[in-house]
Structure 1
Amino acid sequence: MIEQYVWELQEVDETQVAFVGGKGAHLGGLSRIEGIRVPTGFCLTTDAFRRIMAEAPSIDDQLDQLSRLNPDDREAIRTLSAQIRRTIEGIAIPNDLAAAITRALARLGEQAAYAVRSSATAEDLPTASFAGQQDTYLNVVGSAAILQHVSRCWASLFTERAVTYRQRNGIDHRTVHMAVVVQQMVFPHAAGILFTADPVTGNRKVATVDAGFGLGEALVSGLVNPDVFKVRHGKVVAKAIAAKQHAVHALPTGGTQEVAIDSQRQEQPALTDAQVVRLVQLGRRIEAHFGSPQDIEWCLVDDGFQIVQSRPITTLFPIPETGDQENHVYVSVGHGQMMTDAMKPLGLSMWQLTAMVPMHEAGGRLFVDVTRRLASPASRAGFLDVMGRGDPLIRDALETVLDHDGFVPSLPDAGPGGPPAGGASASIETDPAIVTELIERSQVSIA
């Protein structure tokens, strides 16, 4: 730790969200993963933000007024949040804090260009997506400009959008603090977003890469349609190359500019297939480190990838934990009972204790793993018949899964999950141990 207010990115990890915010914590974690390159930089901690907020006693009253507003009263939120932002931007940064920032800049190169990025403590969390709620400033040059943009990042905790999001989600404005990440700018040939699970289908084995020329701002802001690549098992399985008419480039004097792309280049892919596959390999490494599918912002500099952000994908439905990497097919218990809402913990526990088959929890709902029943030809037909009588759409869905070549491997009838071929009823009739076992299971269940 260099000073109380300034921490190098390499000193930070995911346990320090309270000090460096979600973005800072994730970038620190990324910079520790072998083979992952992150632009060098430092974090200005939430202690600095708290100190600035304490410099303006009027903010307390403004926050009280804000918390009393109705989230639908957009005009009042717009006016009051703009007032709070003006107050924060008007606070002079104390000398010792400004000196800590300029010392950190001197170590990295004072006249280099930097990205100044907001990093709130309620951001990039597994349970809520605060993406785009606060501000990022690119290609900021000179310590005076960097200090000014640090103040703007602090103020961006109170953009109208961020305030409304917190009000709607019941998050107290006073419990969220702002850190700031200052990183050396990278000037990429191409940039974009990598989802390590397909965000549309939820398929965790298919990664999606969105790519465009220049800085990633052109994609994030919706200025251009990206090239889209889909990768499965280390191969590009689908791609759509867009006509990319514009790109965002950094200006030598600071700031960014939208530029038109030469007509011959517009329909060239921003990445080669080999680069896409290499990028997805890096994404899988990042996903393994954080333990969940990731939404990753990347830049291609020369012929190497640099990672500028990684956050959990919060829109994917969770899947039950398994101890293997095999395919599994689950059927929802609740849907079979016409209970589509999430269950309360007591309900989940009751079902799991008394059910005759193991029930797996995900997303507040219970599921039965039916892979073995579908894998055995002897049990498959009967199982599909039972499912179809309860809900024809579930049967259709299971048949669609079975049509995917090799997704559910076919087991011989004598294998686990299916009765021995030919003498199923005879073996049950002549084995009294089964009855004893069923009685014991029932007694355990009741107990």
Structure 2
Amino acid sequence: MPGDSDGSALVRDFETINREDIAIVGGKNASLGEMIGGLKSKGVVVPPGFATTSECYWNFVNFNNIKDKLGNLIQVWQSGKATLADTGKQARDLFLKGDWPVEAKDAIISGYRRLSKKTGLENIAVAVRSSATAEDLPGASFAGQLETFLNISGEQALLTACRKCYASLFTDRAIYYRQTRGFDHMKVALSVGVQQMVRSDRSGSGVMFSIDTESGCDKIILINAAWGLGENVVQGTVNPDEYQVFKPFLDRPGVVPIIEKRLGDKERKMIYSEGEQTTRNVPTSKAERSSLVLNDEDILQLARWACTIENHYGGPMDMEWAKDGITNEVYIVQARPETVQSARKVGTFHEYSVADKGQTLTTGCSIGDAAVAGRVCVIESPTDIDSFLDGSILVTETTDPDWVPIMRKAKAIVTDQGGRTSHAAIVSRELGITAVVGTGNATYILHTGQDITVSCAEGETGFVYEGIAKISSKTVDVSKFPRTKTEVMINLADPSAANRWWQLPCDGIGLARMEFVVSNHIRIHPMALVHFDQVRDDAVKAEIEKITTGYKDKSQYFVDKLALGLARLCAVAYPKPAIIRLSDFKTNEYANLIGGAQYEPQEENPMIGWRGASRYYSPGYKDGFSLECKAIKKLREELGFENAVVMVPFCRTVQEAIRVQNEMGNHGLNRGEHGLKVYVMCEIPSNVILAHEFAKHFDGFSIGSNDLTQLTLGIDRDSGTLASLFSERDEAVKWLIAQAIKRAREAGRKIGLCGQAPSNDPSFASFLVECGINSISVSPGSFLAVKRNVAAAEAEAKGTSGGAVES
């Protein structure tokens, strides 16, 4: 192996080690060597470096007569005769005051000189990282327990940093962690990784997972990014950008499968510093806060590397990356197994629901998918651990490894700062604690003694509600779901909540509501974006400018946001169909969008007014509709989701169907081209009466039972006075539904139902099966009951006493 013949047992270049060497160089360094040796040929770029060995550690310990002293300190603490703080300080002092054995010192200096020569940089700046020999094992992530020192330059500075790394094996948090995990303190050694610094202080860095950290969805790659060195992201002291990439499309030429780009505020960045403090935090500029750290090319490069690394290791991975601001090259600087989602049983998940919610107090990133209620305890520093009441909800600005003893005692955690890959998030997942991170204001809004409910059961946004809500849960084992001939699909609207349903054995998405994405993620009326210069209200114009920062073409903001939102829905269903309903706002709902009041008329009865298909070819909206078409085209052709099916709502006449499809064609959406299917909502009696004619222009029907009931019985579905008369089980409504199914099938067209009836009343599914419907689409929470009901109805129809129908 390279290096001095007498120092090779003490220092190993990364090229000479692999993942079998954990006992010698620890998990972190073994992984770096594994990637350099096994993945360099596959394009994964890792900065060079070397590692001190466990023998080097024991050499230092024995030379300074530390072992027996350490053992005595730990024994006294375990017997309860000393505090953890006193024990940790005395243990660290043993290392910090120790001297280097000559052979160890020479080996480290020789390794450093080789690295400088290899890179052509004198006194090269390096990252000095601790790597414990029990680290990065299943169930033992050590989640930032040990120290890292950045921008270390010079031989003496390196030796000092290595000594500090040894000492960090006995920080209070590390001692506590080993004790609770059952590791023998005197059998864990420490290796030090010395790696060329990437000049991410002039660019950005972050973390990456080859699996969705909350839902465990294995089709998603999650990347977090912030400006400067990566410690702020790892420690959770900034709210980073977040990108999500859809794995199955990464090898498709011409496709850019980035399905989420969320801008973080990134209020500070860590840069190089001179003197004793080698790094420092500085505020980011307005331009940096309003800009994404990574471009598409970088995001895709990292995502492909994540797949390569995952395939090489044979399981989900947690990685750190950095981009050099001088060379613009991207590097992987760490990789370890993901230890939370990968340990969960696939096919089983817990479903929580929250009722009787109080006022929303604050929101942030949800960690986990549970909900808990309890009493707040605001803690400013881990030194205040004695004031924390066990079982309280911990509220604090941010956490680092010193907080772990408190976090273990918390019922839930809420922080001001941090993203889904921050320390608070990682440790909360590992401990199985519900957390909402990155709220921005929790310590300002909440107070000790306050009763709150922390909900992560509603998607990627975590909510903190006032008071004690009613929380219920159930365990779902999808492996026991019956198989049915009738397809059972789900209705989805919120992209941020979509991933949690990835394990449901559904037959696709029967209704994806575009208007949810528009109202919650875009928020601006499309006509106000197309004709931004004509917006008359200065305050509205200023708000649009703020929301669309970075977009010179305001229309493109709508197209990009809508395409990405819909992509996240399609990704959950892929390769099964996702039926996307074009916008179906009523005029009063459109008017509530930013800038909408200028473009919407006031109607006496918006429910049966200017809505659905009639808008798409109208001079008053067709420019806005063009943005919907462009977003669908981007979704299918640029992002790759050809499983997206377009559905036209509230199409009153056959002539209207033709006009709408002509308008779609003007924007490159032609039925049949590139496999595009176009469905129509069957929610107006005319859709049933002329079903054979509508079938000539559409590939399928989807019954909207709410509107069909409203227009059949002449009852406003929003009317409280007439609520008792509104029933989808009315014989007239059921007759129309039966006729619609019969006529669609006669015309050779698929037909499904996406109304609320089967969700509210699973027995309604039996009627639909009897009529021969192709598919039923229900809310995810109703899926299990409806699926079972459909199976029972199919069995009964076949004249059997039970069992499921094979598809």
TM-score bracket for the superposition, by shorter chain length: 0.7 to 0.9
Look up the match of 2:157.
Answer: 145
In structure 2, what residue type is equivalent to 1:38? Answer: V
For 1:13-24, list aligned pairs within 5 A.
13-24=18-29
| Residue number among 229, 241, 248 corresponding to 1:215 in the alignment | 229
Residue aligning to 2:93:
86
Amino acid at match of 1:36: V
Shift of 1:315: 1.1
Question: Are 1:67 and 1:172, in contact at CA under 8 Å, matched by a contact in 2?
Answer: no
Distance between the aligned counterparts of 1:266 and 1:45, measured in 2?
A: 41
Task: Judge which range, 135-144 or 267-276, deviates more.
Answer: 267-276
Deviation at 1:58, TM superposition (A): 5.1
**What residue number does 1:362 align with?**
none
Per the TM alignment, residue 92 of structure 1 is displaced from its structure 2 partner at its CA by 0.9
Q: Does 1:66 align with 2:89?
A: no
Quote how far apart the aligned CAs of 1:273 are. Answer: 2.8
Q: Secondary structure at the match of 2:483?
A: helix
Residue aligning to 1:369: 479
In structure 2, give the amino acid aligned to 1:377. T
Q: Conserved in 1, the CA contact under 8 Å of 2:14 and 2:32?
A: yes
Residue 369 of structure 1 and its aligned partner are, at CA, apart by 3.2
Q: Tell me how far 1:422 sits from its aligned partner.
A: 11
User: 3-state DSSP class of the match of 2:168?
Assistant: helix
Quote the residue 1:275 is aligned against.
298
**Structure 2: which amino acid aligns with 1:264?**
A
1:239 equivalent in alignment to 2:239: no
How many angstroms apart in 2 are the aligned matches of 1:82 and 1:91?
A: 14
After superposition, the Cα gap between the structure-2 partners of 1:142 and 1:240, relative to the gap in structure 1 and judged at 3 Å, is: same
5 Å-filtered alignment, 1:21-40, equals: 21-31=26-36, 32-33=38-39, 34-40=42-48
Using the TM superposition, give the Cα deviation of residue 27 of structure 1 relative to its aligned residue in structure 2, in angstroms: 0.8
Which residue identity is paired with 1:226?
P
CA contact (8 A) 1:208 1:231 kept: yes
Q: Is the 8 A contact 2:18 2:33 kept in 1?
A: yes
Look up the SS of the partner of 2:319 in the other structure: strand
**Within 5 A, what are the aligned runs for 1:153-302?**
153-188=165-200, 189-233=203-247, 234=249, 235-251=257-273, 255-301=278-324, 302=327
Question: Which of the residues 126, 139, 164 maps onto 1:127?
Answer: 139
Q: TM-score, normalization: structure 1?
A: 0.74
Classify 1:229/1:70 alpha carbon distance in 2 versus 1 (closer, same or farther; 3 Å): same
1:407: Cα distance to partner? 5.7
Shift of 1:148: 0.9
**In 2, are the aligned partners of 1:27 and 1:38 still within 8 Å (CA)?**
yes
1:364-403 equivalence runs, <5 A:
369-370=479-480, 373-374=482-483, 376-377=485-486, 401-402=506-507
Deviation of the 1:319 alpha carbon: 6.1
Q: Does 1:45 align with 2:53?
A: yes
Q: CA deviation at 1:180?
A: 0.7
Task: Tell me the distance in 1 between the aligned counterparts of 2:78 and 2:507.
Answer: 50
Paired residue secondary structure (2:286):
coil
**CA distance in structure 2 between the partners assigned to 1:104 and 1:140 by the alignment:** 14
Give 1:369's aligned amino acid: S
Residue 106 (str. 1) matches residue 113 (str. 2): yes
Whether contact under 8 Å (1:216, 1:299) holds in the other structure is yes
- Could you say what secondary structure the match of 1:264 adopts? helix
Compared with structure 1, are the counterparts of its residues 397 and 285 closer, same or farther at alpha carbon in structure 2 (3 Å cutoff)? closer
Contact 1:9 1:40 in 2 (8 A): yes
Higher RCO (Cα < 8 Å, 6 or more apart): 1
Distance 1:222 1:44, change over 3 A: same
Please, what TM-score do these two structures have when normalized by structure 2? Answer: 0.42
Matched positions, count: 366
Which of residues 12, 29, 32 in structure 1 aligns to 2:17? 12
> What is the CA–CA distance in structure 1 between the aligned matches of 2:504 and 2:313, rounded to whole Å?
34
* Aligned Cα root-mean-square deviation (Å): 3.4
Q: Give the Cα separation in 1 of the matches to 2:192 and 2:14.
A: 11
How much has 1:170 moved relative to structure 2? 1.4
Secondary structure (helix, strand or coil) at the match of 2:271 reads strand
Find the aligned partners of 2:158 and 2:168 in 1 and give their Cα distance.
15
Judged with a 3 Å threshold, the aligned counterparts in structure 2 of structure 1 residues 81 and 56 are, in CA distance, closer, same or farther, namely same
**Cα pair distance change 1:174/1:369, threshold 3 Å:** same
Contact 2:10 2:104 in 1 (8 A): yes
- Cα distance in 1, alignment partners of residues 575 and 797 from structure 2: 25
**Once the two structures are superposed, what CA deviation does each residue of 1:347-401 show, in whole Å capped at 9, x if it has no partner?**
xxxxxxxxxxxxxxxxxx9967357x435339x79xxxxxxxxxxxxxx999794
Distance of aligned partners of 1:197 and 1:146 in 2 relative to their CA distance in 1, 3 Å threshold: same
Q: Which residue of 2 aligns with 1:387?
A: none
Alpha carbons of 1:397 and 1:291: their partners in 2 closer, same or farther (altered >3 Å)?
A: closer
Distance 2:259 2:233 in 1: 22
Q: Which has the larger radius of gyration?
A: 2
The one-letter code matched in structure 2 to 1:295 is D
Q: Which amino acid aligns with 1:313?
A: E
Instruction: Report the equivalent of 1:437.
Output: none
Report if aligned partners of 1:331, 1:369 keep a CA contact under 8 Å in 2.
no
Aligned counterparts of 2:484 and 2:343: Cα–Cα separation in 1: 24
Q: Is the 8 A contact 2:76 2:82 kept in 1?
A: no
Identity of paired residues, percent? 30
Shift of 1:292: 1.2
Matched, 1:316 2:321: no
Distance 2:30 2:205 in 1: 22
Structure 2 residue corresponding to 1:307, chosen from 309, 332, 342: 332
Shift in Å, 1:152 = 0.8
One-letter amino acid of the structure 1 residue matched with residue 328 of structure 2: D
1:248 alignment partner AA: M
**Divergent runs of 4+, >3 A:** 56-59, 317-321, 329-332, 365-371, 373-376, 396-410, 420-426
Shift of 1:173: 0.3
Paired AA for residue 259 in structure 2: V
Q: State the partner residue of 2:650.
A: none
Shift in CA distance, 317/74, structure 1 to aligned 2, threshold 3 Å:
farther
Alpha-carbon distance in structure 2 between the residues aligned to 1:55 and 1:192: 38
Structure 1 position 245, deviation (Å) = 2.1
